[in-house]
A and B are shown apart, each in its own frame.
Chain A
Amino acid sequence: RKEVEQDPGPFNVPEGATVAFNCTYSNSASQSFFWYRQDCRKEPKLLMSVYSSGNEDGRFTAQLNRASQYISLLIRDSKLSDSATYLCVVLRGGSYIPTFGRGTSLIVHP
């Protein structure tokens, strides 16, 4: 089983839609989780950290389910500019080294 798994998509949604991505991780000792966004031919950029209690930043909501070992990202009211690849990142248990999922591609169309 891979350390971090994501559905590669693509998710093709109209503007204004709500879309959710899940990511599962294999190491139950993992403590820190993040979502990154990567635009085509650019570097990944931090979108948001994922906290145990869940957290929200504008249209974006991240949640953690430790029992089932997955994190999620919810995007409400999708914009064209949200089109990108969303990377799930998990710090290995007891470590600071980030492990990346393969990313989920989102395409928002008019």
Chain B
Amino acid sequence: ETGVTQTPRHLVMGMTNKKSLKCEQHLGHNAMYWYKQSAKKPLELMFVYSLEERVENNSVPSRFSPECPNSSHLFLHLHTLQPEDSALYLCASSQDRGGRNTEAFFGQGTRLTVV
């Protein structure tokens, strides 16, 4: 059983569709993240959740809506996306305390194409 699992792995959606990305972690972590990685660009932090509360939203458009029902699950709800939103969406988790054992672990990502 992998530590962080994302579904679906690939998604093609039209600009009028609504879809959701799912992330599940089995590492006992209490912080979860959504990152976006566009082609040949660095990772962009989108949202941070700690103990199911959103603690950071990095000026992400409202067409992206996160949800964290518990510390093991994280969703990203998508609606009326634009073609420039096509990217690899990565979920990660970690422990929310400093010191050792705070490294983040990633899911395999969802490769999203908006047509």
The residues of A with any CB-CB pair to B shorter than 8 Å are 31-32, 34, 41-46, 49, 87, 89, 91, 94-103
Contact B102 A91 (CB under 8 A): yes
Contact B102 A96 (CB under 8 A): yes
Contacts of A49 on B, CB cut-off 8 Å? 100, 103
Which B residues between 100 and 115 are near A, CB-CB below 8 angstroms? Answer: 100, 102-109, 111
A sample of 10 inter-chain contacts (CB < 8 A) reads A32-B99, A44-B90, A46-B105, A95-B98, A96-B95, A96-B97, A98-B92, A98-B94, A100-B45, A103-B42
Tell me the smallest distance from the CB of A68 to a CB of chain B, in Å. 22
Contact A31 B45 (CB under 8 A): no
Tell me the smallest distance from the CB of B102 to a CB of chain A, in Å. 5
Alpha-carbon distance between A44 and B105 when the two chains are bound, in angstroms: 8
Contact B43 A100 (CB under 8 A): yes
Contact B102 A32 (CB under 8 A): yes
Tell me the smallest distance from the CB of A10 to a CB of chain B, in Å. 12
Contact A31 B98 (CB under 8 A): yes
Contact A97 B108 (CB under 8 A): no
B53 within 8 A of A: no
Contact A45 B96 (CB under 8 A): no
One of B35, B48, B88, B98 near A91 (C-beta < 8 A): B98
